[in-house]
């Protein structure tokens, strides 16, 4: 079954505002002929762009008493249920209808078929594939151009012709209409989108050999996967050509999705992931107070650190970050280990250091700026849990920080009576520690939107 649809709009793009459709026509087609019709003006709940009034003839007065979209939504669902959504340039019509339903909190999903693309296959080498030009060249008269019913009826007549041409075509005669239109990427797209839920979690793209080629996370895995298919980036297109299957893990919690994604990327090192692939942290920025009470920062090999703030995959990246701090916070090169321990640093000579190395700045003033850095990269408490939503109703997630470091995560049901820290820890699955996980946890702590319990 097919639902041949045409809409008129009040102007603009459906992403920008709600209430955009001004008229809709749906022709239900059984593959042989139209068996049912529905046409209605629609009150867009906003003013119609004068250009579109000139194009369609639909005025603000005409739609003032027309039903709003939510009033005809049940009829649209009824007439398109189990049908392929057919339109001339289907992404336009389907996009508007889908967004109207999104604004109502309803997920409208239909298989689509574009008569522009189908015409290019069955009627090649035409000067133009616009509905007006194509119908004129085929002798199809459009009664009411740029009105929903007139264009829908013309699209239905074009569709009938294309079906007849298909039966005579040597390559396509034994194929279904939708099969003709389906490229391999389209088949994979439909499979992936049908499989992924609109939930928070981590998804895995796999190649034909079952190898993980990309790992991503999102609050809406379905929506994020859709953005991959809509991307014009060459690397994304290459990834889609390699993709054969998809898997996913629902996490409920965005923080757990981030932590799991980072851990899994390090474990599998997927071909198309760039960030967080390295599991080797070679250097860090450490801090300590010297005998004079001055806070010092120092670059060290990661395994020699006793009080590390940040870890890095290379010496150069650690040095670059420390130099950024020196510039931003007017730190002294001597107390960052970048010049002799008894020397007045070069930055003081060019007035970029306030003179702690020359005895011209109070220790308290210098340490005040240094503490701003430390505060950014140290947890307020050494032991705490972050509580968030779980994977289902009645479940909570828990992320554990122990001894000032991310330790792991888990889930528990709302009926559990938790009275002490050890009971929280009992629900946690401990994970391999990577320093960049602390960055992810710190970001969420700073947001202040999750419940934090000090242990």
Q: Could you tell me if 312 and 371 lie in one domain?
A: yes
**Predicted pLDDT of residue 15:** 44
Q: Could you tell me if 86 and 137 lie in one domain?
A: yes
- Residue 276 inside a domain? The answer is no
Q: Could you tell me if 45 and 176 lie in one domain?
A: yes
d(CA 280, CA 49): 58
d(CA 349, CA 352): 8
Residue 317: half-sphere exposure toward Cβ, Cα within 13 Å:
11
Q: How many CB atoms lie within 10 A of CB 373?
A: 19
Domain that holds residue 246: 184-268
Residue where a domain stops, chosen among 181, 202, 236: 181
pLDDT tier at 305, thresholds 50, 70, 90 = confident
Give the DSSP H or E segment for 283: strand 283-289
CA 14 to chain centre: 19
- Residue 124 inside a domain? The answer is yes
Q: How many CB atoms lie within 10 A of CB 150?
A: 18
Summarised one tens digit per residue, pLDDT across range 65-121 is 999 999 999 999 999 999 999 999 998 899 899 989 988 889 898 988 899 988 888
Summarised one tens digit per residue, pLDDT across range 419-443 is 777 888 889 999 999 989 999 999 8
Model pTM above 0.85: no
d(CA 66, CA 10): 14
Q: ∠151-19-57 over CA atoms, to 5°? A: 40
Contact 12, 20 (CB under 8 A): yes
Summarised one tens digit per residue, pLDDT across range 268-282 is 999 999 877 777 899
Out of 252-266, 297-311, 434-448, the most confident range is: 252-266
Residue where a domain stops, chosen among 376, 411, 445: 376
Q: Could you tell me if 104 and 160 lie in one domain?
A: yes
Contact 7, 95 (CB under 8 A): no
Where residue 224 sits, what CATH number does that domain have?
3.40.1440.10
pLDDT tier at 346, thresholds 50, 70, 90 = confident
- Residue 86 inside a domain? The answer is yes
Q: Could you tell me if 164 and 175 lie in one domain?
A: yes
Q: Could you tell me if 156 and 203 lie in one domain?
A: no
DSSP tally for the chain: helices H, then strands E: 17, 16
Contact 343, 334 (CB under 8 A): yes
Is the pLDDT assigned to residue 23 strictly greater than 90? yes
Residue where a domain stops, chosen among 166, 181, 196: 181
Q: Could you tell me if 13 and 156 lie in one domain?
A: yes
Backbone angles phi, psi at 222, to 5 degrees: -60, -50
- Residue 273 inside a domain? The answer is no
387: buried, middle or exposed (CB in 10 Å: 19+, 13-18, 0-12)? Answer: middle
Q: Could you tell me if 263 and 288 lie in one domain?
A: no
Q: Could you tell me if 32 and 148 lie in one domain?
A: yes
Number of independent structural domains in the chain: 4
Q: How many CB atoms lie within 10 A of CB 450?
A: 17
Q: Could you tell me if 322 and 393 lie in one domain?
A: no
Q: Could you tell me if 161 and 189 lie in one domain?
A: no
Q: Could you tell me if 120 and 173 lie in one domain?
A: yes
Residue corresponding to tokens 């005809």: 72
Summarised one tens digit per residue, pLDDT across range 156-170 is 999 998 888 877 666
More confident residue, 37 or 164: 37
CB-based contacts of 74, cutoff 8 Å, min separation 6: none
CB-based contacts of 364, cutoff 8 Å, min separation 6: none
Alpha-carbon Rg for the chain, nearest whole angstrom, is 31
Using the CB atoms, write b or e for 351-364: b if 16+ within 10 Å: eebbbbbeeebeee
């Amino acid at each position: 079954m097919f639902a041949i649809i045409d809409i008129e709009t009040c102007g603009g793009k459906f992403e920008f505002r709600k209430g955009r459709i001004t008229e809709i026509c749906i022709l239900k087609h059984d593959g042989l002929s139209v068996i049912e019709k529905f046409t209605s003006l629609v009150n867009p709940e906003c003013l119609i762009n004068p250009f579109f009034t000139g194009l369609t003839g639909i005025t603000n007065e005409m739609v003032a008493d027309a039903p709003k979209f939510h009033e005809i939504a049940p009829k649209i669902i009824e007439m398109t249920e189990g049908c392929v959504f057919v339109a001339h340039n289907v992404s336009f019509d389907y996009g508007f209808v889908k967004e109207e339903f999104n604004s109502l909190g309803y997920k409208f999903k239909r298989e689509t078929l574009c008569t522009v693309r189908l015409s290019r296959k069955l009627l090649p080498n035409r000067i133009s594939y616009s509905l007006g030009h194509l119908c004129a060249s085929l002798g199809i008269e459009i009664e009411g151009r740029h009105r929903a019913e007139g264009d829908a009826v013309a699209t239905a007549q074009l569709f009938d012709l294309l079906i007849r041409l298909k039966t005579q075509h040597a390559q396509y005669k034994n194929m279904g209409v939708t099969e003709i239109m389906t490229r391999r990427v389209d088949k994979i797209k439909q499979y992936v989108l049908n499989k992924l839920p609109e939930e928070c979690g981590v998804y895995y793209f796999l190649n034909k050999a079952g190898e993980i080629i990309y790992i991503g996370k999102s609050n809406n895995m379905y929506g994020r996967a859709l953005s991959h298919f809509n991307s014009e980036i060459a690397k994304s297109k290459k990834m889609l050509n390699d993709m054969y299957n998809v898997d996913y893990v629902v996490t409920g919690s965005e923080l757990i999705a981030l932590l799991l994604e980072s851990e899994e990327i390090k474990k599998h090192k997927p071909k198309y992931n760039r960030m967080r692939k390295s599991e080797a942290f070679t250097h860090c920025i450490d801090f300590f107070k010297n005998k004079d009470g001055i806070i010092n920062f120092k670059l060290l090999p990661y395994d020699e650190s006793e009080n590390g703030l940040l870890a890095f995959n290379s010496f150069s990246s650690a040095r670059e970050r420390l130099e950024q701090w020196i510039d931003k916070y007017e730190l002294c090169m001597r107390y960052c280990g970048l010049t002799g321990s008894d020397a007045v640093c070069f930055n003081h000579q060019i007035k970029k250091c306030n003179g702690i190395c020359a005895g011209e700045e109070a220790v308290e003033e210098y340490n005040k700026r240094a503490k701003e850095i430390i505060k950014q990269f140290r947890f307020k408490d050494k032991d705490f849990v972050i509580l968030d939503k779980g994977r289902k109703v009645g479940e909570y997630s828990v992320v554990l920080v122990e001894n000032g470091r991310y330790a792991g995560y888990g889930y528990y049901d709302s009926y559990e009576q938790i009275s002490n820290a050890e009971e929280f820890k009992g629900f946690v699955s401990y994970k391999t520690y990577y320093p960049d996980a602390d960055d992810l946890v710190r970001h969420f702590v700073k947001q202040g939107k999750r419940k934090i319990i000090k242990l």
